[in-house]
A and B are shown apart, each in its own frame.
Chain A
């Protein structure tokens, strides 16, 4: 089983739609969780950190469910510019490693 798993998609949604991605992780000792966004042929960029209490940044909401070992990202009112690959990242306890999921591709169409 992979350490971090995501549905690769693609998710094709119209502008204005709400879309949600999930990510599961296998190591229950994992401590830190992030969502990154990566555009085609560009570097990953930090979208948001994921806290136990959940967090929201504008149209983006991230949640953590430790019991079920998954994190989620909700995007409301999708924009064309949201089209990208969304990477789930997990950092384990007592490790320097950022472990990337395979990424979920989102395509927003007019």
Chain B
């Protein structure tokens, strides 16, 4: 089973809203990732967690706040987003750092 589950699949939020994206995997993977993908562009790395600790933050604005409550869950808290933050947000996991990653179906976010 190589399943990574993301919720919600679609989200529309206003610029003053606070929302959270959720990601879950039960493969025992110890590395988890958040990526952002705009139309016709490749995924761009945002954050990497390894053994539940944040190991990489790719200079992401503070309006995006990641959280890893346990080894199976990864959240992305959103606050005061801008319309240009509208994108597909992808969660991925890998057994360890540096190994192939498996992606969830993504959350398609629209900021209005």
Contact = CB atoms under 8 A, between A and B. Distances in A.
A44 B43 contact: yes
B50 A96 contact: yes
Nearest to B45: A97
Interface in A16-73: 31-32, 34, 41-46, 49
Contacts of B31: 96
Interface residues of B, number: 25
Contact of A43 (B33, B48, B97, B105): B105
A34 B101 CA distance: 10
A102 B44 CA distance: 10
Q: Which of B43, B44, B90 has the most CB of A within 10 A?
A: B43
A91 interface: yes
Interface residues of A, number: 21
B45 to A, nearest CB: 6
B90 A43 contact: yes
Interface of B: 31, 33, 41-45, 48, 50, 55-56, 88, 90, 92, 97-106, 108
7 contacts: A31-B98, A43-B90, A45-B103, A91-B98, A96-B97, A97-B45, A97-B56
